[in-house]
Amino acid sequence: MRLLLDTHAFLWAIAEQSRLSDRVRGWLEDGNNEAWVSIASIWEIAIKAGLGRLRLPSDLGGFLATQLVVSSFQVLPIALEHAVAVRDLPLHHRDPFDRLLIAQSRAEGLALVSRDARLKAYEVDVVW
């Protein structure tokens, strides 16, 4: 299975695994699955940390890089096609980070790991 973690799923995977569903924890522990984290999620985390809405180590880059390696998560860059694909998404949801994750999930054929049921309104495989 190829998975793209929503921002909250990534944060829970590295800090609060008990908040993940049993299915998601199992998928992440299975070495046959690919788990991806979008640069959009890293960007969102940096913004929230800068605003004081997330308490993370001051060396945010080093912390996140370590967590990605330890968890065997791959980083998904934002490609031109991902950014442009956001234009064609219906306005079911206005969060720009979620919309970019949806576009990336669709373009890359990744199941989107998210607890946000609103994302199911899009033509994307949302799993939890």
Domains of the chain: 2-114 (3.40.50.1010)
* Residue 126, φ and ψ in degrees, nearest 5: -100, 125
- The amino acid present at 51, given as its one-letter code, is L
Predicted local confidence at residue 37, as pLDDT: 98
Predicted local confidence at residue 45, as pLDDT: 98
Predicted local confidence at residue 4, as pLDDT: 98
Which tokens sit at 108? 């890359």
| CB 126, CB 92: distance < 8 Å | no
Predicted local confidence at residue 62, as pLDDT: 96
Predicted local confidence at residue 96, as pLDDT: 94
Predicted local confidence at residue 93, as pLDDT: 81
| pTM, 2 dp | 0.93
Predicted local confidence at residue 94, as pLDDT: 86
The series of mean pLDDT values per 10 residues for the chain, 128 residues long, is: 98 96 97 97 97 93 96 98 96 91 97 94 93
Tell me how far apart the alpha carbons of residues 107 and 101 are, in angstroms, rounded to a whole number: 10
